[in-house]
Structure 1
């Protein structure tokens, strides 16, 4: 198992390097000039050129990349071009907001979607199955911003159960802080819950058709025991894949939800940085989300090997 983990870790190194190269190039081919965004239209050519020299934007592209890579190796993301503050100081206060939102949305997905998929598979063709499929179809089809606005209208404006928008820090109380995340988490998790429900149903149906399940049923084992002790464990590998990848997607896909509910997370900062062409901030956020995605994939691979030892033996 240790050898398997080390091998997977080594595979991530070239992946991260290629991602860093691609990110650095893509950010710089985006139309727009951060210097013009800073100085405005009335600046003289001398002022523009002086600021470009000051920010080292006239250096060759490879020099800029090597400087950025060297700073990353020291844990330094550089300074914001627009705000003239360390990027770390801008990002770190926002990480807990986005991470909390993503984890709550994932928890919602796991708690609701997997049991719904199991129940749908156990009652294939019946009312429970049709309800689960219909709900998942709605979750996949309706845009997240529309879901967010409807939830806000019903539960925040009309019923006044939750705040319409904004963020309260944990220092003001656990429930006070979580109240601001309930509607955004439902909004963000609705799509992924629908996907996991369908995947859980499909995976469970495949396992329930296996000979050993039929034999267990013929031997008189209880239906609940067959479903949750035997079938679900063997159906978990594709489900773990979807849940793990969804967590990475939730971190990167929270932009719309954070904007709708006015949450000061990484998505909101990324959007404002793109508007200002603030290269260091954009690079840092995208790299952080990408790194998280790679780490999640690594964890998923390890969970694979724990659920099914054949995975790590086949990898030797």
Structure 2
């Protein structure tokens, strides 16, 4: 019965996610049409003639009605093609997907490190409420939340690249080519991203744990002689995980689309940087497909969160 309820919940969330992604594509495509500028004229330059502009507009389908362009794009997605990039003169999937992989090799390690350390420090702070260690952890967590990632990245470059000269200041090496080179170039961006994640989870875990620690069932467990370890992890932490899991899904999804500053600072050819190039070059189809990829990733993260809801708290089924 429990598995049936969970399966129904997952099926319902999958349908909702598909509808949401479809609405996002429609909204983004409509919004792009309102952006001033002609991608064809921007690509050909100021010396292009009217005949050349008309030819390329017809070649890329920009002379068709907007609804026809949208349906053609959606139909291409079902056939496994995202269309052509006018600025890169290449299939958009061949541009975006490798860049997405680059972004994920930075985002996922940063998310894992920041989440694990944030939850652990949050538990320590909550278990030692009012003590020196709680004040120290809370102090650094507040600093981490307040400091812009871009500023932290510049400070890291100044100290570790320019002063100590132990790490490269920028650049990227694919992880499949040279793991050591990838690690030396990515360790600073990963740490900078993880600090923001860590600080957020420290504060959230601490507040959630303190709320749960005041509940009657925790007092009852202690009165029954349950060990401190079991009380912490089986009763307090598990019941504190709902808001934490919610934030985990939202944070991971938003990180993929918000790394553009870090990618620009450290010259990393990720998804954020290629979308910025698409915006500056008026390559609207490239931008639309980038937003689509991000929305799919966010929808997947939210789906995983809903599944974890059903596992952690059976009442949500």
Contact 2:115 2:197 (C-alpha < 8 Å) held by counterparts:
no
**TM-score (normalizing by structure 1):** 0.94
User: 1:226 is matched with which residue?
Assistant: 231
Q: State the match for 1:140 in structure 2.
A: 145
Secondary structure of 2:85's aligned partner:
coil
Aligned mate of 1:155, from 155, 160, 172:
160
Greater CA drift, 296-305 or 4-13: 4-13
Q: Which of 54, 57, 74 pairs up with 2:62?
A: 57
Per the alignment, residue 175 of structure 1 pairs with 180
In the TM superposition, residue 270 of structure 1 has moved relative to its aligned partner by: 0.7
TM-superposed CA distance for 1:172, in Å, is 3.6
Could you tell me how far apart the structure 2 residues matched to 1:238 and 1:161 are?
39
Choose from 73, 77, 80 the match for 1:75: 80
Q: Is 1:263 aligned to residue 263 of structure 2?
A: no
Task: Verify the 8 A CA contact 2:122 2:203 in the aligned structure 1.
Answer: yes
> What is residue 109 of structure 1 aligned with on the other side?
114
Say whether 1:246 aligns with 2:233. Answer: no
Q: In structure 2, how many angstroms separate the alpha carbons of the residues matched to 1:38 and 1:174?
A: 37
Task: Report the Cα offset of residue 262 of structure 1.
Answer: 0.7
Inter-partner Cα distance in structure 1 for 2:23 and 2:97: 25
Structure 1, 298-307 or 164-173: larger mean CA deviation: 164-173
Deviations 1:32-81 (A, max 9, x none): 22122112122233332232222221211111111111111111100101
Q: For 1:114-144, what per-residue CA distance to the aligned partner results, in whole angstroms no more than 9, with x for missing partners?
A: 0111111111122122122211211121111
The residue that corresponds to 1:17 in the other structure is 22
Deviation track 1:78-120 (CA, whole Å, cap 9, x = no partner) reads: 0101222101111222122101111011112122100111111
Instruction: Pick one of 104, 107, 124 that aligns with 1:119.
Output: 124
Give the counterpart of 2:221 among 196, 216, 221.
Answer: 216
Give 2:169's aligned residue. 164
**CA 1:120/1:179 → structure 2, altered by over 3 Å: closer, same or farther?**
same
Partner of 1:307: 312
CA deviation map 1:156-192 (0-9, x unaligned)? 2222332211111223433332222211012222222
1:85 aligns with 2:90: yes
- Hey, what's the Cα distance between the residues in 2 that align with 1:72 and 1:296? 21
Q: Give 2:3's aligned residue.
A: none
Q: Shift of residue 20 of structure 1? A: 0.9
Deviates further, 59-68 or 169-178: 169-178
Instruction: Provide the TM-score with structure 2 as the length reference.
Output: 0.94
Q: Distance in 1 between matches of 2:225 and 2:190?
A: 42
Partner of 2:52: 47
Shift of 1:258: 0.7
Aligned mates of 1:128, 1:238 — CA distance in 2: 24
- CA shift, 1:9, in A, is 1.1
Contact 2:85 2:91 in 1 (8 A): yes
The whole-number CA distance in structure 1 between the counterparts of 2:45 and 2:177 is 40
Q: Over aligned residues, Cα RMSD in angstroms?
A: 1.5
1:186 and 1:171 map into 2 onto residues whose CA distance is 21
- 1:147 offset after TM fit, Å? 0.5
